Amino acid sequence: MSEARKNYVRPLDIRHGRIDMAHGAGGRAMAQLIEELFAKYLGNEYLAQGDDGALLPAAGDGRLVMATDSHVVSPLFFPGGDIGCLSVHGTINDVAVMGAKPLYLSAGFILEEGFKLSDLALIVQSMASAAREAGVPIVTGDTKVVERGKGDGVFITTTGIGVVAPGRELSGRYARPGDSILVSGTLGDHGMAIMAARESLGFESPIVSDTAALHGLIEAMRLSGADIHVLRDPTRGGLATTLNEIARQSGVGMMLQEEDLPVKPAVNAACEFLGLDPLYVANEGKLVAICAEQDAGKLLAAMRAHPLGAEAAIVGRVHEDAHHFVQMTTAFGGKRIVDWLSGEQLPRIC
Amino acid sequence: MKYIDEFRDGEVAKGLAEAIRREADPGRTYHFMEFCGGHTHAISRYGVSDLLPANVKMIHGPGCPVCVLPIGRIDQAIRLALEQRVTLCTYGDCLRVPASDGLSLMKAKARGGDIHMVYSSADAVTLAQKNPDKQVVFFAIGFETTTPPTAVAIKQAAALGLKNFSVLCCHVLTPSAISSILESPDVRDGGTVRLDGFIGPAHVSTIIGSRPYEFVAEEYRMPVVIAGFEPLDVMQAIKMLIRQVNEGRAEVENEFSRAVDRNGNQKAQQLVADVFEVREHFEWRGLGVLPCSALRIRSQFAEFDAEKRFSLDYQSVPDHTACECGAILRGVKRPQDCKIFGTVCTPENPIGSCMVSSEGACAAHYSYGRYKDV
């Protein structure tokens, strides 16, 4: 490594810079935007937690968890789901991975002039059934319309709140050297389903999005009694970026075993074809769990016993590393870094 | 999975690593250049160098299409998008290559340029058909692999009578880059770069065959082994190169016989010859201006030549002064030898072109191998 200005990162150029697509891709560019602009001006002790949701004080026992997520996926309807159920699942998951029981959702709609009411009806019905199945009602909302050409059909922002019992809180800051890293199932299904659905690519595939609400699976995992330290849903930027975020938050390194990573053959083939790496492709119904090593077997069994965790696997281990590198032993027998997503892999994936 | 996992099998790799260890003479070192970025990427992504003995060193070559694209060419594309307001289409990696004034095509897009990433030249033709009121320019880059599809796009546009489609042609030729390296003072007698052989291109060779590399073996006495882009291909090629060196041979051997023969894809070669001719000179990033090293569109297809349609002139722009991409592309320096590697220059804010594409030596080392530097 060069000696000049070690660990130097070029700051955002606020005067001349502009937002480009990489700022929304979930990778390092987005992390930098959040850190140097949003956190800088809006920062407070809750935002500083740096998780997918905020842990807040509440009257009485326990804490509140609040999370929000905007959805701009294109196309609006894709194999396995649509923007409606995605916007419900995404926010429920962000609340649930904080260790909380999701209670209520809000939904804000930005609609474009000319958008078909029949499509909007399908989306709202899909939201309704997703919320009903999850047992988390949408209790407030907002509707705005922008002129034709100023939006892309519909954008949906959902906010969720939940409660967590004292001592049951989870955070990306709690990974410890020696911990085991588990994933709840196959990687990259959502991203590749969207990719295949984009008309410009013109290839057909049997891949279906994995969009799902994970609070039931998480409840089953908690009931196993395993000492879970971190949960996180690896959405944009994929497993690779999520693990890098956790490694940085917890100040640790990680080592993955490539041959233990579950990837569907069709996803693997589509990634090969497009030159993508499944480790960086978005998931919408999967989670990463980091737990005490001695509980990994127990946790894995609990995950596999649940329909949303049937293909769960132990994929790696946390270790001490001052550089917070996530590394991987390749199936080929070599070693490499598994870095943050850089640039933009698939725009508007969720 | 069929045709993927077979070429990445860890057990076979172990066996090959052992065979390489037996083959390599511990009394000497071996320096091989993998010409192609595809090989550079495979070596880094699968950790191939971890399986090689310490006296077998790999040097990254210049065969990464976006790495050798000079700033002046990206500037031309940006000017087309921002000043002439054309719809500009190009392959994904091209979007982030740094150009003049802190711009890149991605940043030009954020400034309002109508810039599209396409997966094939045919998508650009379709875009032109669907938008008859827009001028669509395909920014065509790459070595011999991507050239035939551009030829097809131009022929298609001609057959369709499209008046709003043109190509900014920056296709370059592999053999000229190899001879430029072999002729460079760094590599010739007394130079600082020791080279004992080349791993020859995979996809390029499916088009041009193995014949165009024969001069390397004959005139420069340098072994060449053409290899596929899978990690086992690379290991097998290294073993074959070591054997050539040990036996004092300099030949063109073909490890990638499942896809490459001596003559290549003659139908594709004919298509290219129909549409393109060799330019007298072309500037490469890192290698400078090389004679007969790139293609331009023949005069009978002049109406599809964006350089002519938009009267573009070419201005050479020097690289950032601290950037070592030039030396890295010539094999003289390694990414970690560059002062700004991993500090000022990262994949998010690339200063040099080698930090952009995953096939670039700097991006590959940063993304996969930098743990070795600390």
Q: Is B180 inside a domain boundary?
A: yes
Does B194 lie in the same domain as B51? yes
pLDDT of A323 above 50:
yes
- pLDDT at residue B51 tops 60: yes
Whether residue B78 is found in the same domain as residue B153: yes
* CA nearest to A278, candidates A333, A241, A319: A241
Confidence of residue A2 (pLDDT cuts 50, 70, 90): very low
pLDDT at position A22 is: 86
For residues B210 and B252, membership in a common domain is answered with yes
B291 CA to chain A: closest CA distance, Å? 33
Considering the domain boundaries, does residue B110 fall inside one? yes
Determine, for residues A333 and B343 on separate chains, whether the beta-carbon distance falls below 8 Å.
no
Which domain, by its residues, includes B139? Answer: 71-171+265-309
Q: Would residue B75 count as lying in a domain?
A: yes
* Within-domain flag for B6: yes
* Contact between B22 and A290 (Cβ < 8 Å): no
Lowest mean pLDDT segment, chosen from A24-28, A176-180, A211-215, A343-347: A343-347
CATH for B257: 3.40.50.11750
| pLDDT at residue A7 in the model | 56
Mean pLDDT of B86-98: 91
Q: CATH no. for residue B150? A: 3.40.50.11740
Q: Please indicate, yes or no, whether residues B247 and B360 belong to a single structural domain of this protein.
A: yes
- What percent of chain A is modeled with pLDDT above 70? 95
- Mean pLDDT on A75-104: 97
CB distance A334–B47 less than 8 Å? Answer: yes
**B6 — pLDDT class (breaks 50, 70, 90):** confident
Cβ-based contacts of B374 with chain A (< 8 Å) = 1, 323
Please tell me the total count of domains within chain B: 2
The C-alpha atoms of residue A241 and residue B288 are separated, in whole angstroms, by 38
Contact yes or no for B368 and A2 at CB 8 A: no
Inter-chain CB proximity A20 and B10 less than 8 Å: no
Per-residue confidence (pLDDT) for residue A27, from 0 to 100: 85
Domain presence at residue B317: no
Q: Cβ–Cβ of B119/A201 closer than 8 Å?
A: yes
pLDDT confidence of residue A67:
97
Q: Give the A:B interface size as CB pairs under 8 Å.
A: 122
Counting every residue written for chain B, the total comes to: 374
The answer to whether position B277 is within a domain reads yes
Give yes or no: residues B105 and B182 share one domain.
Answer: no
Distance CA A127, CA A105 (A): 11
Question: What b-and-e string marks burial along A124-152, b requiring 16 or more CB atoms within 10 Å of the CB?
Answer: eebbeebbeebebebeeeeeeeeeeeebb
- Asked if residue B200 and residue B57 are part of one domain, the reply reads yes
Q: Inter-chain contact A1–B341, Cβ cutoff 8 Å?
A: yes
Mean pLDDT of chain B: 93
By C-alpha distance, the chain B residue nearest A27 is B348
**What is the structure's pLDDT at A5?**
46
Shared domain for B79 and B114, answered yes or no, is yes
Closest alpha carbon within chain A to B108 = A20
B159 is a domain residue:
yes
Q: Would you say residue B315 lies in a domain? A: no
Cβ–Cβ under 8 Å, residues B34 and B199: yes
Q: How many residues does chain A have?
A: 350
Closest CB from A1, A19, A331 relative to B336: A1
Q: Is B264 left (phi over 0), alpha (psi -120 to 50) or beta?
A: left
Most A CBs within 10 Å, among B367, B372, B373, to test the A interface: B367
Q: Are B196 and B248 found together in one domain?
A: yes
Asked if B89 and B123 touch (Cβ cutoff 8 Å), the reply is yes
Closest in A3, A32, A336 to B368, CB measured: A336
Asked whether residue B300 carries a pLDDT value surpassing 50, the answer given is yes
Output the six-digit token pair for B120.
């094939």
Residue A3: its pLDDT value, please? Answer: 43
Same domain? B162 vs B96? yes
Chain A residues contacting B via beta carbons under 8 Å? 1-10, 13, 16, 18-22, 27-29, 32, 200-201, 259, 265, 268-269, 272, 274, 323, 325, 327, 329-337, 339, 342-343
- The DSSP result for B78-114, as a single string, is HHHHHTS--EEEE-GGGGG---GGG--HHHHHHTT-E
Measured distance CA(B371)–CA(B139) in Å, rounded? 36
**Taking a C-beta distance cutoff of 8 angstroms, is the pair B170, B294 a contact?**
yes
* B5, B36: one domain: yes
Check residue A1 and give its pLDDT: 40
Give per-residue pLDDT as tens, A108-145.
999 999 999 999 999 999 999 999 999 999 999 999 99
Q: What percent of chain A has pLDDT over 90?
A: 78
Residues B227 and B363 in one domain: yes
Question: pLDDT grade, residue B38 (50/70/90)?
Answer: very high
Indicate yes or no: pTM above 0.90: no
Place of tokens 């393109």: B276
Same domain, B182 and B50: yes
Nearest to B343 among A8, A22, A335 (CB): A8
> Chain A closest CA to B9's CA: distance in Å?
6
ipTM of the complex: 0.79
A chain contacts of residue B373, beta-carbon cutoff 8 Å = 1
Phi, psi angles (nearest 5°) of residue B267: -65, -45
Secondary structure letter of residue B7 according to DSSP: G
